[in-house]
């Protein structure tokens, strides 16, 4: 784990921030590549990225602070130090959807198409985000004796959580691996899907991935019904909704996403 990328006097650049920057650039590349699907231009792609990133960070941080409030009790300023890590993806996802809706209304764009446009960009950007989590030491896993286990050094979040240097699951890398697979699935399937299906498929695939990875997470203290982590519980709620939406859009649109949408 290496938190610091570059130290220039009082200026500290963390690997977490570097990876977040790479994630934003890669997401922008994907948005511009597929912009014609949503009838957008380059300027709108830049605006959408800004809307999505800022709202996503705010939402992700809000959910993280609420979920791990004990870590912030009496440390008000720490809430704003996002560069230390600590974001809950689903919080960012919900806030970003709201921002995309507002963006679509303001620009008189098809909200569903804009949402679909983000589907291939999300797993690619999130992939680099999880690499950042690994380098930062957050979102860590349970103890393990498996060959995949890693040891985070003294000063890291896992060290303070377990009280010593211990071999744990690199859950950040597990999720990163799954995200890059989802990204390549979209590269293959995106042009063949109907309107509404890309965003639905993304939720389906990510819910399955996140539920699985959460089994190996070790940084949770609170469980819903004593069994599920908060993220797993959200996965259970959104998965059937996403499956329904995927088939609904498949039945109600007879052309693929590359063509003009026509109702049956």
Specify the pLDDT at position 163.
87
User: What is the band of 46 on the pLDDT scale with cuts at 50, 70, 90?
Assistant: very high
Q: Mapping DSSP to helix (H, G, I), strand (E, B) and coil, where does residue 70 land?
A: helix
pLDDT of 263 over the 60 cut: no
pLDDT (tens digit per residue) in 199-244: 999 999 999 999 999 999 998 777 888 899 988 999 999 999 999 9
User: For all residues of the chain together, what is the average pLDDT?
Assistant: 87
Specify the pLDDT at position 60.
83
C-alpha distances out from residue 57 to 33, 65, 165, 206, 239, Å: 24, 12, 30, 19, 23
Asked if 88 contacts 112 with a C-beta cutoff of 8 angstroms, the reply is no
Q: Mapping DSSP to helix (H, G, I), strand (E, B) and coil, where does residue 245 land?
A: helix
76-81 average pLDDT score: 71
pLDDT of 86 over the 90 cut: no
Q: Which of 15-19, 48-52, 127-131 has the lowest mean pLDDT?
A: 15-19
User: Which residues lie below 8 Å from residue 27, measured CB to CB, with a gap of 6+?
Assistant: 49, 52, 121, 122, 124, 125
Structure tokens of 197?
A: 């299906």
Report how far apart the first and last C-alpha atoms of the chain are (Å, whole number): 54
- The Cα–Cα gap between 56 and 52 comes to 6
pLDDT (tens digit per residue) in 147-198: 999 999 888 889 888 988 999 999 999 999 999 999 999 999 988 899 999 9
Reference 124, options 5, 257, 2, 22; nearest CA is: 22
């Amino acid at each position: 784990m290496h938190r610091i990328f570059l130290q220039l006097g009082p200026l500290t650049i963390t690997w977490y921030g570097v990876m977040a920057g790479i994630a934003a650039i890669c997401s922008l590349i994907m948005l511009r590549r597929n912009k014609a699907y949503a009838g957008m231009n380059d300027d709108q792609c830049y605006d959408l990225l800004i809307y999505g990133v800022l709202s996503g960070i705010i939402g992700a941080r809000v959910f993280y602070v609420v979920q791990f409030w004990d870590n912030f009790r009496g440390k008000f300023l720490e809430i704003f130090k996002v560069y230390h890590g600590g974001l809950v993806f689903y919080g960012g996802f919900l806030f970003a959807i709201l921002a995309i809706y507002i963006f679509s209304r303001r620009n008189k764009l098809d909200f569903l198409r804009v949402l679909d446009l983000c589907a291939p960009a999300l797993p690619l950007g999130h992939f680099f985000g999880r690499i950042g989590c690994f380098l930062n030491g957050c979102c860590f896993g349970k103890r393990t004796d498996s060959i995949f286990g890693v040891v985070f050094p003294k000063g890291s979040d896992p060290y303070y959580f377990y009280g010593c240097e211990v071999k744990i699951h690199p859950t950040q890398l597990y999720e990163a691996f799954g995200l890059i697979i989802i990204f390549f699935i979209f590269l293959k399937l995106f042009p063949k899907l109907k309107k509404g299906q890309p965003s639905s498929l993304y939720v389906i695939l990510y819910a399955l991935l996140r539920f699985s990875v959460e089994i190996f997470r070790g940084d949770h203290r609170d469980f819903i019904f004593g069994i599920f982590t908060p993220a797993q519980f959200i996965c259970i709620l959104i998965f059937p909704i996403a499956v329904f939406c995927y088939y609904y859009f498949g039945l109600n649109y007879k052309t693929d996403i590359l063509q003009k949408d026509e109702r049956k």
